[in-house]
Amino acid sequence: MNVAFSADTEISTRRCGRCYICGTDGRWLHKNVVDHHFGAPGSWSFRRCANDECGLIWLDPMPLGEDIGIAYKDYLTHEGYSAPKSRHGLSLLPELVRSAYRARRYGVGPKPWLSMLLALPIYLTPSRREAVDFPLRYLVDRPAGRLLDIGCGDGTMLEQATSLGWSAEGVDFDSKAVENARSKGLEVHLGAVEDLNLPDASFDLILMSHLIEQVYDPISLLRECRRLLTPGGKLIVATPNAESLGHAKFGANWLLLHAPRHLYLFNSSNLAAMTRKAGFKKIQTRTGTRGADGVFFFSNHRTKPENADDLTPSVFERLRVLGDELRESVLLKVRPLCGEELVLEAN
């Protein structure tokens, strides 16, 4: 292992020339990627597996575990994987609108007067619709049982699950996020789920939203999920899609590279292969547009450094982002693996 540490990067690293999944050498894909939004030090590079049947993308060199916390020092943990809502005006929808949509689509909560009209903005904007759908689509399609949210952040999904009758608990490695969740009365553990020694077959549903790309040994994490699931239980993994329209369009400026916090970037094929290695048999993948508004706005913003301090979208930018969203939504009909988010379901 080669370790580099300098005043320029402030983060010690190790070289990672071979693919984590299949062991094939990697080709350089992106070089000199900088963390524009959260200020992690250094510039970073990514490799792509030379085995086209795999195609895993990874950070090389990769931060050492003891220094990775530096990259999260100013990170707005789990306030929205694409961009915090307070930092652009594209995702701010009144709770009344979301409530109307949830009531009409899932029968959750009282249906407000003129609910169809109120819910229309969500029906018309794919990224907002999918943001509300996750995780509701998984919570209402089966009887309420025991839920584990790995990477639960401030507990927003746990609150939603609890309101629907689930016995829910979470785990996160960010102490501030755990503190926020516990202040809401939620049962949340601090640390890695592999270190908690939870009982076998103790959860009916495990959610893992935008965490697996930040883990050094994702196969071990998936094996632990399999151990924790009851017979017939379901694992849901959401992660950035390396083969998305946004990545193809913006390249090294694609927001979801998130260097150096995102250690791996997956496509449908290698995420499924990795999950099979962990012992799962029944696996399905799909892609979607959750978070695409922030992805398209901030990725385009990176291409215009002269506007670095202006995070308020103009009318033109709002229309452009909506156009990109709708284009991706339409393309998904013929290219189902081009969405910004990759979702895996495993039983």
CATH no., domain 3-346: 3.40.50.150
Q: The whole model's pTM is what?
A: 0.89
| Order of all β-strands in the sheet with 167-172 | 187-190, 167-172, 146-150, 203-209, 229-240, 341-346, 283-288
* Averaged pLDDT score across all residues of the chain: 88
Identify the band that residue 80 occupies on the pLDDT scale cut at 50, 70 and 90.
very low
pLDDT tens per residue across span 254-304: 999 999 999 999 999 999 999 999 999 999 999 999 999 999 999 988 777
- β-pair partners for 344: 237, 285
Tell me what the mean pLDDT of segment 197-217 comes to: 96
Q: pLDDT at position 341, please?
A: 98
pLDDT tens per residue across span 299-328: 988 777 655 566 777 888 889 998 999 999
Residue 1's Cα: distance from chain center in Å?
29
pLDDT tens per residue across span 84-105: 344 445 555 688 888 889 988 8
Q: pLDDT at position 323, please?
A: 92
Q: pLDDT at position 308, please?
A: 57
Tell me what the mean pLDDT of segment 68-90 comes to: 51
96 or 207, higher pLDDT: 207
